[in-house]
Amino acid sequence: MIQPIDHTAGILRDRLDALIARETRRFAQSRPRTRAALAEGSAYFLGGVPMHWMKDWPQPFPLLVAKAEGARLTDVDGYGVDDFCLGDTGSMFGHSPAPVAKAIRHQARRGLTYMLPTEDALEAGRLLTERFGVFRWQIATTATDANRFALRVARAVTGRPKVLVFNGCYHGTVDETMVELLHGRTVARPGLVGQVADLGLTAVAVEFNDTAAVEAALATGEIAAILTEPVLTNCAMVLPETGFHDALRSLSRQHGALLILDETHTISSGLGGYTKVHSLSPDIFVAGKCVAGGMPTAVWGLTPALADRFAAYDETRPAGHSGMGTTLSANPMQFACLRATLAEVMTAEAYA
């Protein structure tokens, strides 16, 4: 008979439960202002929070942040907290970097959005190329959007329907990436809200580092693009085996698919991200979250050759909405923060 496990990582469950209960009481009792504010104001929000992820913390209620600077939060009760999350890496270079805060103040007096470029935009394009490589850039608001737009380009230029992703991947809330590999089949993840369409019709999931499975999927001729992080970061940390990225590049070219690298998390690998540090050569490069110092911004870039292919396609498509872009994307506040981050925050010294 199998005995139930009564411990976690060598700690008895009863003791762990007692510690959790004690810390929960202490957290709640020491934050009267937070409790009072939430009691008065949280009912206006679905689930009591502005975005449901804010309920995922283990505390009995979320912190109410008064300010954040560097790697430290201060809540409304005056407690300082060392922040190892940094907004889930949105503030990877620290909360409120001084050059970004200065850029925000400067641009706020000149307009927040007008769907036109600025001189900051032009300089940001130069800095993006200097930092990440020769791509033809577009600016989005989230990496989710950037990945969705990249997949539209891939399908447009290849004429193929499917995207290949890796089991355990994370690319925001792009539908085609909300899948898992279950008994050899690509299926929707069970927690998805209101899922109706069969995601297996547009996505194929295989295991990371499984070159044979990648080749088999590509051989069907249905794959428009491989979308991956250079290192899987949302299911612990899964490193690429030696030669895996070379295989992705050669196999995708051999079978006429594009290679999209999402560097939103792995930008921490070094100046220019994992792609530049390890001399990778994607067709499309994507980064978001921290790329503008915490200002909601993402970038996606096509190689010049792919940009030419897309331009040829674009000349032939019917007039009408492209399904790419959003009203508030590529706004002057993003340009200002991108420029400041790339020039003064995301520096060689910061990575040293």
Q: Name the H helices within 10-56.
A: 13-29, 32-41
Q: Which residue has the tokens 């085609």?
A: 176
Structure tokens given for 271: 């100046």
Predicted TM-score (pTM) of the model is: 0.95
- pLDDT attached to residue 88: 94
Q: Which residue type is seen at 331?
A: N
Q: What are the angstrom distances between the C-alpha of 90 and each of 16, 29, 289?
A: 31, 30, 4
Residue 118, Cβ density class (10 Å: 0-12 exposed, 13-18 middle, ≥19 buried): buried
Give the Cα separation of 329 and 225 in Å (integer): 24
- pLDDT attached to residue 5: 62
Give the Cα separation of 254 and 221 in Å (integer): 11
**What letter does residue 201 receive in the DSSP assignment?**
G
Mean pLDDT for each 10-residue chunk of the chain (352 residues)? 64 91 97 98 97 94 97 98 96 97 98 98 99 99 99 99 98 98 97 96 98 99 99 95 99 99 98 98 98 98 99 96 97 99 97 94
Pairing of strands 258-262, 284-287: parallel
- pLDDT attached to residue 9: 74
Structure tokens given for 305: 């050759």
Taking the domains of the chain in order of start, what are their residue ranges?
7-82, 98-351
Structure tokens given for 337: 């923060």
- pLDDT attached to residue 3: 56
For residue 269, give the nearest of 68, 132, 143, 173 by alpha carbon: 132
Q: Under CATH, to which class is 7-82 assigned? A: alpha beta
Residue 41, Cβ density class (10 Å: 0-12 exposed, 13-18 middle, ≥19 buried): exposed
CATH label, 98-351, candidates 3.90.550.10, 3.40.50.300, 3.30.420.40, 3.40.640.10 = 3.40.640.10
Q: What is the CA radius of gyration of the chain?
A: 22
How many CB atoms lie under 10 A from the CB of residue 192? 13
For residue 127, give the nearest of 279, 278, 135 by alpha carbon: 135
Give the Cα separation of 348 and 352 in Å (integer): 6
For residue 262, give the nearest of 251, 246, 249, 273 by alpha carbon: 273
